[in-house]
Amino acid sequence: MPELPEVETTRRGLLPLVGHKISNVQIRNSSLRWPINPNIKRFLADKIILSVERRAKYLFLNFDNGALIIHLGMSGRMQITPQNEELKKHDHVIFEFAGVKKMLRYHDPRRFGSIHWHKDNINTHFLIQSLGPEPLSNDFNQEYLYKRLRNKKQCIKNSIMDSRLVVGVGNIYASEALFLSKICPQKSSSKLTKRDVHELVESIKIVINDAIQKGGSSLNDFAAVDGKLGYFQQEHRVYGRENLPCYRCQEPIKKILLGQRSSFFCKRCQK
Ligand SMILES: [Zn+2]
């Protein structure tokens, strides 16, 4: 599943399209997670892409009359290809550009992704309005997180994976950040000290930033817009290392289920 780093990698890959005018939109299959509004063909006719932004795992293609909000779901990809390249089975939406011999394709075999049109302030969209801060932003800091965790009984791993608290901390990144900050994933959120929270905030930023630098991570191979694969799993510090020795203390890594998700940790150095 594309995580925040893959989506950020995709955003950067789409930047060459900024300033180009859309000449045609083909909707070959509109039944994504939500049906695609057929009027987007009309809304986007002759419109120039003003910018490409990202919030959590949503991409925004901004135009002077609104924005396309794109979510890649479980298996979605945005690919820029030559104009004459044959369409593939799961290429559901095709964007063509005036004077550019390239196409942008939304490809999604499992169709859990979505494409919405929104003409008002993006922060008012129902998918966006309740999202917590970006992990790499200054709004995600010790003071903020400590305040939000103080009264939570839920285990810390499930708290940091809640997108209302902070966005983009998927299952792998949660295990990795808790290992780095030496916090046990089952620990009650309210029991974290200010120092723990400081370490955790810093660790989340390191883990997400590392993944972005490496071009995104996923258990499945992830093709960035230019077709290069982004891999990260061979460099996990703890995720997927059940029974292998901890890099810090040699204790075998444990695997447990928390909220139906696999969690990996070292019971000696994560307290
Ligand atoms: Zn250890």
> Domain containing 44 — which CATH number?
3.20.190.10
Question: Does 242 reside within a domain?
Answer: yes
Is 143 an active-site residue? Answer: no
Q: Give me ligand 1 centre to Cα 175, in Å.
A: 13
For residue range 147-193, what is the model confidence (pLDDT) as tens digits?
A: 999 999 999 999 999 999 999 999 999 999 999 999 999 999 999 99
Question: Does 132 reside within a domain?
Answer: no
Residues 148, 119 share a domain: no
Q: What confidence score (pLDDT) does residue 219 get?
A: 40
Is 101 an active-site residue? Answer: no
Domain count, the chain: 2
Q: Give me ligand 1 centre to Cα 245, in Å.
A: 8
144-172 b/e (C-beta count within 10 Å ≥ 16 → b): bbbebbeebeebbbbbbbbeebbbbbbbb
For residue range 85-109, what is the model confidence (pLDDT) as tens digits?
A: 999 999 999 999 999 899 999 999 9
For residue range 117-147, what is the model confidence (pLDDT) as tens digits?
A: 999 999 999 999 999 999 999 999 999 999 9
Q: Which two structure tokens, joined as six digits, stand for 9? A: 């990698």
pLDDT beyond 80 at 248: yes
Question: Does 80 reside within a domain?
Answer: yes
Residues 41, 150 share a domain: no
For residue range 2-35, what is the model confidence (pLDDT) as tens digits?
A: 889 889 989 998 999 999 999 999 999 999 999 9
Extended strands (E) in the chain = 22-27, 51-55, 58-63, 66-71, 77-82, 91-97, 102-107, 114-118, 222-223, 229-230, 254-258, 261-265
Residues 105, 181 share a domain: no
Domain that holds residue 91: 4-124
Exactly one of 187, 255, 261, 267 is catalytic; name it: 261
The predicted model gives 234-245 an average pLDDT of 89
Is 57 an active-site residue? Answer: yes
Residues 86, 150 share a domain: no
pLDDT beyond 90 at 57: yes
Q: What confidence score (pLDDT) does residue 235 get?
A: 75
pLDDT beyond 60 at 239: yes
Please name every residue paired with 61 in a beta bridge, in sequence order, or none if there are none. 52, 68
Residues 254, 165 share a domain: yes
Question: Does 137 reside within a domain?
Answer: no
Residues 92, 194 share a domain: no
pLDDT beyond 60 at 231: no
Q: What confidence score (pLDDT) does residue 136 get?
A: 97
Question: Does 131 reside within a domain?
Answer: no
The predicted model gives 234-262 an average pLDDT of 93
Residues 75, 38 share a domain: yes
pLDDT beyond 80 at 43: yes
